[in-house]
Amino acid sequence: MSTAATRFIEEPARSIPVSAEYDVLVVGGGPSGLTAALAAAEDGLRVGLIESRSFVGGNMTIGLPVLGFLGQKGNQIIDGLPQKFIERLRRERQGASEHRPCPLHMGITLVEPEAVKTVALEMLTEAGVDVLFYTFFAGALVENDTIRGVITESKSGRTAILAKVVIDCSGDADVAYSAGVPTEKGNEHGGMQPPTLMFCLAGVDTDALRLSIANAPPAARTYLTDFIPAEYFGQNHQFIVVGMRELMAKAKAERGLQIPNERTIIITGLKKGEVWINMTRVKGTDGTDARSLTKGEIEGRAQIDDIVAYLIGYVPGFEKAYFTKTAPFLGIRETRRIRGQYVMTQEDVLACTHFDDAIAVASYPIDIHRPADDGCTLIWCGDCYDIPYRSLVPQKIGNLLVAGRSISATHEAMGAIRVMATCMAMGEAAGRAAKISVRGNRPPADIDVGELRRQQLERGVYLRNPDGTRAGPPNRAAA
């Protein structure tokens, strides 16, 4: 269908039935939406969560490890509900590893995608959250700069869901954008980080892989892995490999393989012999445009065969590997970001900035898969930095909160706060803020942030004192 000339039709006016009404509605069931709904429901509010797919978990279900639980000094800086979720995954389903230090990513937490789907849904239903799958957000209902609820589309038709507070955990600021909140995309040229279609191989001898790196002659170690010393692979049976640039270059030259990435990125799974591959790269994809996403899926799948040929033909341990599955959707790194009451910047991240209204602490480096080439930019701050509540509060709309990678931040700062553990921490804060907003009958922008921080600390969230030490739970009697 040609899109050269835009045509319109008139849609007849119609009455939309109200299918549900909540105190708090969460749009999107990914890492931030999961914890937002759990936090909002923790003392009896009516909480709903809508999700367009048939499962919750979002990017935790596509084969990626969860990054961000550990800080650059090796300490754990994400706690609270995200930690409880990982503990339950590990305890009940053997679906998560411990938080493992990583010289490149600071820490990695491996998760089993199918276990994530099951445990996340169990926790939500046990908390009394009304989960609605197969339901697409279609528009915001806004009156006098107040969001009354949302319009949804599903097999049941077009309906309205009303709520006192809405939390946008769509990852793309869909609700905020529809409601008229100012948003931005990409860098100064509009370029966004390219997405990846993850895929899985089985039959990999991961010990042969890691020992080939650990035992490589010293002269080879400079190119085998980026930033990760070879000794690391001699000590860890589950790991991430990032590098092997010269090996990939050799494969491209000898076999004419088309691989749009300059690095080999291999993530061991929890199952023996299973690895997930983070190497497809679809530049120019706009995650807010269905046609662009479709093109990205087509191109991402087309890239897989050459990547598999490279891995089996050149990388130690892959000699008997075989393809098993692709992720259920593209892993989107960047789309819209809101303009909120405060815009987090690269300077905030690199200066390890402390904010009086901090609701979470993060430490993941600025990690930008560059939009215009096949490379990546990584910048570490040396410690951790705060995420201010004001960055979750959008301009214009009074009873809306945003959590996840689409909070108010620059392109560079978003490259640091976009990882899953950090998004879960932001979701927990947003859910608790929404609860305080409803209980106090005041917009999220006007709540007592000191009370939010007190509740965060009482629930085990990691926050910092001005001197950088971990803040302890407050003494309410002395307050």
What is the pTM (predicted TM-score) of this model?
0.95
Each residue's pLDDT tens digit in the chain (479 positions)?
A: 445 678 999 989 999 999 999 999 999 999 999 999 999 999 999 999 999 999 999 999 999 999 999 999 999 999 999 999 999 999 999 999 999 988 888 899 999 999 999 999 999 999 999 999 999 999 999 999 999 999 999 999 999 999 999 999 999 999 999 999 999 999 999 999 999 999 999 999 999 999 988 888 766 654 456 667 777 777 778 889 988 888 999 999 999 999 998 889 999 999 999 999 999 999 999 999 999 999 999 999 999 999 999 999 999 999 999 999 999 999 999 999 999 999 999 999 999 999 999 999 999 999 999 998 878 888 999 999 999 999 999 999 989 999 999 999 999 999 999 999 999 999 999 999 999 999 999 999 999 999 999 999 999 999 999 999 999 988 754 43
d(CA 406, CA 391): 10
């009156």: which residue's tokens?
Answer: 143
Q: What is the largest CA-CA distance in the chain?
A: 72
d(CA 267, CA 269): 6
- Spatial CB neighbours of 84, under 8 Å, sequence gap ≥ 6: none
d(CA 369, CA 191): 11
β-pairing verdict for 130-132 and 47-50: parallel
**47 CB-side CA count, 13 A:** 31
d(CA 55, CA 29): 8
The answer to whether the CB of 272 falls within 8 A of the CB of 94 is no
